[in-house]
Structure 1
């Protein structure tokens, strides 16, 4: 048994740790403990609860307001691992600079990033978004529809890849073409090798990664090996500092195929926790 004197000696050290890492403890509490408890009390998932909140409070067909409503939920109710408003502005800025026509998103989750990307795409662009968890994909599909997507102008293919067309209150025919979104359900490592033959993606000139961080490097190399990156393609990868993707960053900086920089920011909905988005520019050289 530890004596009181020894316990008192360690007390300042423990207090210092609690103060220094208090924001991480709050994250653990909100993102894990609260969610675990509410899942069991309500019988629904955090993602479903978030969608019900958005459904009740957001303006249908207004993507900006839908994202704002998600943000309100995440700040005041429960934490979701969405890109969030601060890093979202980085994504919007890079997207505006590049104006890509063929976009690939890895990690649809609840559809937050999909709506963020889709509202910034030029007419005629196409967004392919991949989600490995069917439960999350079911929520994302509802969010995409709520934001103003329609199936009417796109062939639906199989049941594993619902497709949507972006609308903003005007008829599609009056806009001269519109950005389209295809939601593909399946593990990224299984979907990526078949993107060209099954989904018609010749190559992507913009990729947004926001799925499992340990999968970033594997999926980047899959995109390379299947020649799915257009020359000059931009790759944005979220959460490369926290929880972090060190092997991905090391590869991007040393392989000679990319110009790489990291946009410093904070973790979504936790301004005191440092994070960042990596921006890679594919040169195609070895």
Structure 2
């Protein structure tokens, strides 16, 4: 038995083949070309104005991530491989220069760089500290700058939270010729290491401190150093990257608490002179 065809005008049969009207475009529909063109000058202006920041983002995030995936190595590991084949072992100055060259001509390392390095080296030579504390070893670049400028018998304790990065820095430091009696590398977060410096590492005070890890931790770690009486009167605290990406709470505290004399060394990022940065130099007057 076959079914008959119901006439189209029957009320019981929907009109299956009638032409449907397209849905109306609501406020979330396609953007008008006129609106796109209206915003285009703003987008172009921002790209031109912040082109250096955009290129920094490309080099430090996009290209670096791609090379990490392709090589299976981190950037500091690739930098160390270059140092092994191009630098002179036992010559910290030549190793430092090699890292600068690699960062400028191969991959942007994001290290302290030669301009800031001159500020750091000059202060270490002027202050001649017996003991220096560095928070944020990274690839070991600033560690070598400090170590080679230390006075005879001087000691440097450097702290790095990432074990894989610390392993590379350790190799670089030993390649430069510094043994553990001169440079001791401590693996751990600064928040955990600072309270243990006196009891576990024999650090009673640090005449010079370099903050070179993450700027958002600078204030916390400075207050930890104060709380554990690791800063003698006259101690110098250097803080990198206080303008870019910036450490406003740290600077505000240093200027308003009454315990420090503050000076700002205006610099820029290595290979990006248009991106302004600075190193804060604090002189500790004491707790009173």
TM-score between both structures, scaled by the size of structure 1: 0.88
8 A contact 1:256–1:285 mirrored in 2? no
SS at match of 2:67: helix
C-alpha distance in 2 between matches for 1:71 and 1:236? 21
1:188 aligns to 2:190 (yes or no): yes
In 1: Cα distance, 2:95 partner to 2:50 partner: 32
Q: How does 1:222-237 map to 2 (within 5 A)?
A: 222-237=224-239
Which 4+ runs in 1 deviate beyond 4 A?
none
Question: Does residue 174 of structure 2 align to residue 145 of structure 1?
Answer: yes
Partner Cα separation in structure 1 for residue 287 and residue 205 of structure 2: 17
Name 2:26's counterpart in structure 1.
Answer: none
Counterpart in the other structure of 2:108: 79
Map 1:110-129; keep pairs closer than 5 Å.
110-129=139-158
- Which residue matches 1:209? 211
Name the CA distance, whole Å, in 1 between partners of 2:39 and 2:187.
Answer: 51
- The 5 Å alignment of 1:167-182 reads 180-182=182-184
Measure the CA separation in 2 of the matches of 1:59 and 1:69: 9
Distance 2:70 2:109 in 1: 18
d(CA) in 2 for partners of 1:78 and 1:124? 36
2:7 paired with 1:5: no
> Residues 50-129 of structure 1: matches in 2 within 5 Å?
50-129=79-158
Q: Whole-Å Cα distance in 2 between the matches of residues 94 and 269 of structure 1?
A: 23
Q: Distance in 1 between matches of 2:125 and 2:271?
A: 24
Q: Which has the higher strand share?
A: 1
Flag the structure with larger Rg: 2
In structure 2, the residue matched to 1:284 is 286
Q: How does 1:147-162 map to 2 (within 5 A)?
A: 147-150=176-179
What secondary structure is seen at the aligned counterpart in 1 of 2:235?
A: strand
* TM-score, length basis structure 2: 0.88
Query: d(CA) in 1 for partners of 2:273 and 2:170?
Result: 29
Cα displacement (A) at 1:6: 2.0
Query: Number of matched residues?
Result: 259
CA distance in 1 between partners of 2:257 and 2:73 (Å) = 44
What per-residue deviation string (whole Å, max 9, x for no partner) do you get for residues 245-278 of structure 1?
Answer: 1111110000001001111000133211000000
Q: Matched residues in 2 for 1:234 and 1:44: separation?
A: 36
